[in-house]
Homo-oligomer: A and B are copies of this chain.
Amino acid sequence: MKKIAVLGTGSVGQTFATRLAGLGYEVMVGTRNVSEKLSTPGKDGAKNAFATWHESNLNIKLGTFAETAAFADIVLNTTKGLNSLDALKLATEKNLENKLLVDIANPLDFSKGMPPCLVPELSNTNSLAEEIQKTFPKTKVVKTLNTMWCGLMVDPSLIKGDHVNYICGNDETAKSTVKLLLNEFGWKNDNLIDLGDLSAARGTEAVLPVWLRIYGAKKSAAFNFNIVS
């Protein structure tokens, strides 16, 4: 059984884990502290959303960031962008060495009000993906899927017709592997726009500011961009 690791327990992580398990992958989801994550009450004092999700997905393993990174050769980063570097450091450089890291996170900064801006030091002349690559030089980082609602990431057929997903990274073999995974989710190669090396993440992460404004105008996240010519 093919193994895959998902770092992060939010709605994006849950969405990937459920979908990958449905595709026949052996999945482990990583978090800082498993028992604390499961036992922390939700906002209303009841079971939190992740614990509720976990009860319906007991076939999906849980582990610390380090255990999860050690578990598989393909690691998805679905943590909040502001926390991603810390989470990956907990996963450890050794556990990520020679691994393929698919970075789906966005460096959003909610501290200055809504809608969030990008973290200044992780945008414009830098990106979260590039910072991860610099911090873990022996890991092959591929950026993709970060420009849309998570439902579409794992099932593009939720919207009829063509719409696009960007992909970039410094390692061509790693990008090819990710494209095959994207095909399993339902992405057609014609709709995968390869933007070249990882510095293109400066562009794809910068889609978020306009995405958030369109979301605000449409009052729905179930949209995506198509490129027409």
Contact = CB atoms under 8 A, between A and B. Distances in A.
A180 interface: no
Contact of A214 (B124, B193, B214, B223): B193
Nearest to A162: B228
What copy number does this chain have within its complex? 2
A131 to B, nearest CB: 15
Interface of A: 112, 117-118, 120, 123-125, 159-163, 166, 168, 193-196, 200, 202-204, 206-207, 209-214, 216-218, 220, 222-229
- Residue of A162, A194, A210, A216 contacting most chain B CB atoms (<10 Å): A210
A120 B210 CA distance: 17
A60 to B, nearest CB: 30
Contact of A206 (B120, B163, B210, B218): B210
Contacts of A207: 206-207, 210
Contact of A203 (B161, B209, B227): B209
A204 B207 CA distance: 9
Contact of A193 (B160, B200, B217): B217
Given A117-B202, A213-B196, A225 B223 contact: no
- Residue of A161, A207, A214 contacting most chain B CB atoms (<10 Å): A214
Nearest to A216: B196
A228 B217 contact: no
8 contacts: A168-B213, A196-B213, A202-B209, A207-B207, A214-B227, A223-B227, A223-B228, A226-B226
A24 B85 CA distance: 57
Contacts of A160: 228
Given A210-B166, A210-B206, A226 B223 contact: no
Contacts of A204: 210, 213
A225 B227 contact: yes
B229 A218 contact: yes
A191 to B, nearest CB: 11
Contacts of A211: 203
Nearest to A220: B229
B123 A124 contact: yes
A168 B214 CA distance: 11
